[in-house]
């Protein structure tokens, strides 16, 4: 039953995305950070390579980063913050549906538009830019798709948890900025993790961030065997479970708080 509720919420959110289609396209194009990083690396790697990255590897890496960012990025916390501050969350609490379903639908609604834009763009790059390589293994493509879902789930749950902090503090948005900073650095979004100094790399290895970016990129770039990729996928989904439990914990306490201090 929850899935049917999700579908109807998704439908409404999709209509909204269509309503705002121009803005959605602008947001898609606005993901330029990886391209800026790419330009910087290309100028550094003009006469050869950096680490095991040559020109083609850098372009493949940041192409994959743009794809992963578009497919797994979440930007609903502003909506959530507004709902909590203006008390509109109250209406969501009075409906027989967990509000998280609404925000899930909202967060996924622009994804189809992104696919429509990304698929032809990727094909063009593959055809016309020399040296760009993505995996051709069907097994890795399947794992890549699943890893996108896992990455989205981690990013969605963490942003939702930060949004729920809005029950206690009014600055959940700035907390989100701090989180985004950590994510940009530790996930491999800005700099390939293998190019970082070893101690830093080992530290980031134990954090969840790399499973949201570096891992799917490496699968897509054919850097892992199917067996290795599958192992990492399992770890990624363990992180999803961890954040899901954290969400339940914060949610139940947040509700108590919300109901105590005035909805």
Partner 1 sequence: MSSQISVSHLSKFYEVHQKEPGFLGSLRAFIRRRYQTVRAVDDISFEIGEGEVVGFLGPNGAGKTTTLKVLSGLLYPTAGDVTVCGFRSFDRQNEFLRQITLVMGQKNQLIWDLPALESFEVNRAIYEIPRADYQAVLKELTDLLDLEPVLGKQVRKLSLGERMKCELAAALLHRPRVLFLDEPTIGLDVTMQARVREFLTEYNRRHGATILLTSHYMADVVALCKRILVIDRGHLVYDGELDALVERVSPFKYVRIVTQRPLDAASLARFGEVRSVDSFEATLIVPRDRTSAVAAQLFQSLPIEDVTIEDPDVEEIIGRIFTEKILSP
Binding site for partner 1 (CB under 8 A): 1, 4-5, 7-9, 11-12, 15-16, 19-20, 86-88, 90-91, 93-97, 256, 259-263
Q: Answer whether 9's CB lies under 8 Å from 101's CB.
A: yes
> At closest approach, how far in Å is the CB of 83 from partner 1?
11
Q: Answer whether 109's CB lies under 8 Å from 16's CB.
A: yes
> At closest approach, how far in Å is the CB of 6 from partner 1?
9
Choose between 95 and 248: whose C-beta lies nearer to partner 1.
95
Q: Rounded to an integer, what distance in angstroms lies between the CA atom of residue 254 and that of residue 162?
A: 11
> At closest approach, how far in Å is the CB of 109 from partner 1?
12
Choose between 182 and 257: whose C-beta lies nearer to partner 1.
257
132 — alpha (psi -120 to 50), left (phi > 0) or beta? beta
> At closest approach, how far in Å is the CB of 12 from partner 1?
5
Within 10 angstroms of residue 164's Cβ, the number of other Cβ atoms is: 23
DSSP 148-202: HHHHHHHHHHHHHHHHHGGGT-S-HHHHHHHHHHHHHHHSSSSS-GGGS-HHHHH
Choose between 238 and 263: whose C-beta lies nearer to partner 1.
263
Choose between 19 and 177: whose C-beta lies nearer to partner 1.
19
Whole-number Cα distances in Å, 183 to 156, 177, 213, 217, 250: 13, 10, 9, 15, 21
> At closest approach, how far in Å is the CB of 247 from partner 1?
18
Choose between 8 and 44: whose C-beta lies nearer to partner 1.
8
């Amino acid at each position: 039953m929850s899935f049917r509720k999700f579908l109807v919420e998704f439908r409404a959110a999709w209509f909204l995305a269509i309503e705002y289609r121009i803005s959605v396209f602008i947001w898609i194009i606005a993901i330029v950070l990886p391209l800026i990083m790419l330009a910087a690396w290309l100028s550094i790697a003009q006469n050869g390579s950096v680490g095991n990255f040559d020109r083609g590897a850098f372009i493949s890496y940041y192409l994959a980063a743009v794809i992963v960012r578009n497919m797994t990025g979440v930007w609903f916390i502003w909506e959530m913050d507004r709902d909590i501050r203006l008390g509109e969350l109250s209406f969501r609490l009075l409906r027989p549906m967990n509000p998280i379903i609404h925000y899930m639908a909202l967060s996924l609604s622009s994804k189809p538009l992104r696919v429509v834009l990304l698929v032809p763009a990727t094909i063009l790059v593959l055809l016309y830019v020399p040296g760009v390589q993505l995996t051709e293994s069907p097994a890795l493509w399947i794992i890549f798709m699943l890893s996108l879902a896992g990455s989205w789930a981690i990013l969605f749950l963490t942003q939702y948890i930060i949004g729920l902090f809005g029950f206690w503090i009014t600055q959940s948005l700035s907390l989100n900025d701090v989180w985004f900073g950590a994510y940009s650095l530790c996930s491999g979004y800005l700099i390939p993790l293998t190019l970082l100094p070893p101690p830093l790399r080992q530290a980031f290895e134990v954090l969840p961030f790399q499973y949201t970016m570096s891992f799917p990129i490496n699968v897509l770039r054919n850097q892992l065997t199917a067996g290795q990729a599958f192992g990492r996928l399992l770890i990624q989904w363990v992180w999803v479970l961890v954040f899901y439990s954290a969400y339940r914990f914060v949610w139940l306490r947040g509700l108590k708080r919300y109901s105590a201090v005035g909805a």
